[in-house]
Amino acid sequence: MNSLDLILILILLAYAVSGYVQGFVVNLIATIGLLIGGLLALAIVPKFLSGNTATLSSSLLALGLVVGAAAIGQGIGTYVGTDLRNGLKWKPLRWVDAVGGSLLSMIAVLCAGWALGYSVSGTTIPYLSTASRDSVILDRVDSVMPARATSVLRSFNEVLDANLFPRYLDPFESENIKPVGPPDTATLNSPGVQKASRSVVKILGQASCQRGIEGSGFAYADGRIMTNAHVVAGVENPSVVIDGKRTNARVVLFDRKLDVAVLAVDGASVPTLTFDTSGEAGDDAAILGFPENGPFDARAARIRSEIRLRSPDIYDKGQVVRQTFSVRGLVRSGNSGGPLVSKDGDVLGVIFAASITDKSTGYALTASQVADDARAGVAATSTVSTGGCA
């Protein structure tokens, strides 16, 4: 248990006493008021803040508005419920009402705590994000919540989350970052890395949610570019920038679970990279791509560890287990889909996420993890749907 768990226990005890005093009828109507206020805020707040890039201040504002709206709804419900409870005169019924009120209050606290914890766990809000992920109580609540409950929170999560990558961990799973020596900058000067840089492209597009997207990708076969599925999610007509020229592309493979996509680029000549499945902890590497829609960028890196990450898919649904490398190196928005290459210039993995707790840590799908999609992408010729925005 952590400090947030202790705080939750104290709140549960306080609400248990309050619920006993107020009774079931009052708490039922108060809980309904809380839900109405909270759900209205969850629906309205994203519409006002979704056009802005999430920052710490905007995340706190959004969180405060939802909590405030829920509190107002609860207050109104308490006022209405008190009048109704005054009509209960029979003592045994009052006792049942009191016990029921205590139980309902605790359930309401756990559900509200889970919803807030789920939302802030993917953010950079100090203390709350880390404490929520490490909470034993919230993890237990999460295990019994219906899968569809998270869909209600999705648009609100996008407002709170300043991280432009999909979730790479389950909301209530601790991030285990293993220490490793600093990257060797000499790796960037190796002939293999220099050659590999010519195979990396920028990917651009307009998503169906009217949001411009940008990311990275790399050629791995004739006319085939690999990138992340979240880079092209909701994009009908993506394009790739090769040697400064924008070329139309088609998505022929879209794996929402592993977060892999393959683009077909007809008539383009780009040197291809080969995959290397021998990467392991301590290996020198380089992160190649076009971060933040800027020019080509290469960063020295070192593999921290190979780990299996459990998380939702790119649409924050279901559960996926990905074989990944935890990497020491700078990963920024726009590096998504770019390759993690060895000194020899071979692809060790595909960058897909950056840590929200450590700026010097990123994550790459291992070469062995993307192997099946790579083969399927070469054989695929038909354009496939890219779903909605991720």
Query: Which CATH number among 1.20.1080.10, 3.50.50.60, 3.40.190.10, 2.40.10.120 corresponds to the domain 164-390?
Result: 2.40.10.120
* pTM of the complete model: 0.81
The confidence band for 260, taking pLDDT boundaries of 50, 70 and 90, is very high
**Top-confidence residue, 195 or 116:** 195
Active site residue 259: yes
Active site residue 284: no
> Does position 296 have pLDDT exceeding 90, yes or no?
yes
What confidence tens digit (pLDDT) does each residue in 358-382 have? 999 999 999 999 999 999 999 999 9
Residue ranges of domains in the chain: 3-160, 164-390
Return the structure tokens found at 83: 């009048």
SS (H, E, C) 96-115: HHHHHHHHHHHHHHHHHHHH
Q: Distance of CA 94 to CAs 14, 79, 108, 308, 331, Å?
A: 20, 18, 21, 53, 59
Matching residue, tokens 């929170």: 153
Mean pLDDT on 119-126: 76
Active site residue 230: yes
> Does position 48 have pLDDT exceeding 90, yes or no?
no
pLDDT of amino acid 37: 84
Round to whole Å and give the CA distance between 75 and 77: 5
Q: Which of 135, 142, 230, 346 is catalytic?
A: 230
**358-384 in b/e burial notation, b at 16+ Cβ within 10 A?**
eebbbbbbbbebbeebbeebbebeeee
> Does position 45 have pLDDT exceeding 80, yes or no?
no
The confidence band for 163, taking pLDDT boundaries of 50, 70 and 90, is low
Q: Which of 259, 283, 284, 297 is catalytic?
A: 259
Backbone angles phi, psi at 233, to 5 degrees: -60, 125
Q: Which helix (H) or strand (E) holds 92?
A: helix 91-120
Round to whole Å and give the CA distance between 254 and 384: 7
User: First and final CA of the chain: distance in angstroms?
Assistant: 33
Q: Which of 135, 336, 342, 355 is catalytic?
A: 336
Mean per-residue pLDDT of the chain: 88
